[in-house]
């Protein structure tokens, strides 16, 4: 029998190649990992006291091996997440401040089938470590009321109401925050006229219109009682924090909403940026507090029961005084109620969306606040003869000066007034650095006509160079 050696050699080579391919294919098939790792359990929401060490336990598995297990955490006031390796399925966190901590975990395997997160991979949802403030604290949430006052710089009774509200706020006996909506500001005016259908000033809106006080015919005790008698509200908890970055002149505002209620909550969150001492003041310079500037956050929300939402916004405040800023947040219910801006007569209706949770945060505590300034003479809305106010116009409010008139400014500051400057139609005409701060019209060239309208302005400077301004339109006769 004669063998073909070439044929035999070819057959052997084919067999060897086929065997190698078979071995390679099945070896690779057995080593391919396409199964993602999974969480078995995680600690979830937990609470502790300042000084405690909290253990976060994270149980997970994989068909081969979990090669990466990370815990991401931060205080609710912080913008950046801190990362820790999960070793032996546990991480210890020290509660060294009274700020709550939020966290989430991720796992992955060598094949990159992750990351898998619990409850998320990016912090869009998270668990909360609630920090009790002291031994006796049971972590009971205290609901704060939202108070909004509509005011103006020529309103007679607005400063009185504003003073009462500030006194109640400073007493720490009442759980509320308040915002002053000065109608001269465009955004405040929109809130007053388009959303509250404002009829007159002053008007105070409690919890988004749950109660409304119109005019100056009320007592301080009525506002105190309205705040004290806070209505029953859904169990919605709001935490607002703001921090100032001196390098970027930005503020980072964080808002955390927890739905502790048994139902899904629908509504809106608004975070007001306010000035502790508003750039607007009453007619005589009485300061308005927490004057509204803008909304840092203004968004619709929907939160399932026992879930939470977090918001973070960075806001450029260059040109503003960070020592004079405060953020005040409120969560408004989506349920529409009937409100009236003229409640005694049920006139000027508006859709009232009640505030269910309120919180506030200062950017910087302490510090030097700016001054406030206004006019004691002329009096807004009065007829003056030779500088004496003799008639209060009831309906129309022109300020009329007949004959030689002295301008007297009232200026207030927590550290001291350096000087007050007087302007007529944007022309500097005088300054005074001692009380009473006053100037008498002397420069006839500014007042050439027998009858003429003018703008009188005053600028007050404190001893650190911070300023406040106020202006008044007047009609002059025979000056």
CATH code of the domain made up of 372-477: 2.60.40.10
Of the chain, the percentage scoring pLDDT greater than 90 comes to 63
Over residues 252-296, the pLDDT tens digits come to 999 999 999 999 999 999 999 999 999 999 888 889 999 999 999
Residue 416: HSE in the Cβ half-sphere, 13 Å Cα cutoff: 5
pTM for this prediction: 0.70
CA distances 293 to 151, 152, 169, 279, 312, Å, are 14, 14, 20, 10, 18
Q: Please report which residue ranges of 213-370 form alpha helices under DSSP H.
A: 220-228
pLDDT of residue 140: 67
- Does pLDDT of 57 surpass 90? yes
The Cα angle at residue 474 between residues 426 and 462, in degrees rounded to 5:
50
Q: How far apart are CA 314 and CA 80, in angstroms?
A: 13
Over residues 75-88, the pLDDT tens digits come to 887 778 989 999 78
Over residues 451-475, the pLDDT tens digits come to 688 999 999 999 888 999 999 899 8
Q: Where are the domains of the chain?
A: 38-132, 145-362, 372-477
Nearest residue to 205 via CA among 227, 183, 189: 227
- Does pLDDT of 36 surpass 60? yes
CA distances 137 to 48, 76, 395, Å, are 10, 19, 54
pLDDT greater at residue 400 or residue 138 = 400
Over residues 284-340, the pLDDT tens digits come to 888 999 999 999 999 999 999 999 999 999 999 999 999 999 999 999 999 999 999
- CATH topology for the 145-362 domain: Glutaredoxin (3.40.30)
The pLDDT-based confidence of 405 (bands split at 50, 70, 90) is: confident
> Region 10-20: what's the mean pLDDT?
67
Please say whether the structural domain 38-132 has been given the CATH code 2.60.40.10.
yes
Domain 38-132 and domain 372-477 have a common topology: yes
pLDDT greater at residue 208 or residue 89 = 208
Over residues 428-443, the pLDDT tens digits come to 999 999 999 999 875 4
Concatenated DSSP letters for 12-26?
Answer: HHHHHHHHHHHHHHH
**Phi/psi-derived region of residue 259, left when phi > 0, alpha when psi is between -120 and 50, beta in every other case:** beta
pLDDT of residue 138: 44
């Amino acid at each position: 029998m004669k063998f073909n050696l070439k044929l035999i050699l070819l057959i052997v080579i084919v067999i060897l190649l086929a065997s190698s391919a078979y071995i390679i294919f099945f070896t690779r098939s057995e080593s391919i990992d396409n199964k993602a790792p999974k969480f078995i359990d995680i600690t979830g929401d937990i609470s502790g006291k300042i000084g405690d060490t909290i253990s976060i336990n994270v149980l997970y598995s994989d068909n081969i091996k979990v090669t990466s297990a990370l815990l991401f955490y931060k205080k609710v006031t912080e913008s950046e997440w801190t990362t820790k390796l999960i070793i032996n399925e546990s991480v210890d966190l020290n509660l060294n401040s009274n700020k709550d901590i939020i966290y989430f975990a991720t796992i992955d395997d060598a094949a990159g089938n992750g990351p898998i997160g619990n409850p998320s991979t990016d912090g869009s949802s998270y668990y909360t470590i609630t920090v009790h403030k002291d031994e006796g604290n049971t972590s009971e949430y205290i609901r704060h009321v939202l108070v909004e006052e509509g005011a103006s710089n020529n309103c007679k009774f607005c400063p009185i109401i504003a003073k009462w509200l500030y006194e109640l706020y400073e007493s720490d006996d009442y759980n509320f925050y308040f915002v002053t909506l000065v109608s001269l500001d465009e955004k405040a005016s929109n809130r007053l006229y388009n959303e509250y259908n404002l009829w007159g000033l002053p008007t105070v809106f409690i919890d988004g219109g749950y109660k409304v006080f119109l005019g100056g015919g009320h007592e301080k005790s009525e506002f105190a009682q309205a705040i004290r008698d806070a209505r029953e509200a859904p169990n919605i908890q709001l935490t607002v924090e703001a921090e100032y970055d001196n390098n970027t002149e930005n503020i980072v505002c964080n808002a955390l909403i927890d739905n502790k209620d048994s139902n899904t909550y629908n509504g809106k969150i608004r975070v007001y940026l306010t000035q502790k001492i508003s750039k607007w003041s009453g007619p005589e310079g009485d300061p308005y507090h927490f004057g509204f500037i803008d909304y840092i956050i203004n968004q619709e929300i929907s939160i399932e029961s026992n879930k939470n939402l977090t918001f973070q916004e960075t806001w450029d405040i260059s040109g503003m005084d960070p020592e004079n800023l405060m953020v005040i947040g409120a969560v408004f219910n989506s349920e529409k109620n009937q409100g009236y801006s003229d409640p005694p007569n049920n006139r000027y209706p508006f859709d009232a969306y009640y505030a269910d949770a309120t919180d506030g945060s200062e950017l910087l505590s302490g510090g030097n606040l700016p001054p406030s300034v206004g006019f004691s003479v002329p009096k807004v809305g009065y007829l003056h003869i030779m500088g004496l106010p003799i008639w209060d116009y009831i309906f129309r409010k022109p300020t009329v000066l007949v004959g030689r008139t002295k301008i007297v400014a009232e200026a207030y500051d927590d550290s001291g007034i350096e000087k007050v400057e007087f302007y007529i139609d944007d022309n500097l005409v005088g300054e005074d650095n001692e009380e009473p701060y006053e100037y008498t019209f002397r420069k006839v060239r500014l007042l050439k006509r027998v009858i003429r309208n003018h703008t009188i302005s005053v600028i007050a400077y404190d001893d650190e160079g911070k300023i406040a301004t106020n202006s008044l339109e007047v009609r002059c006769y025979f000056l």
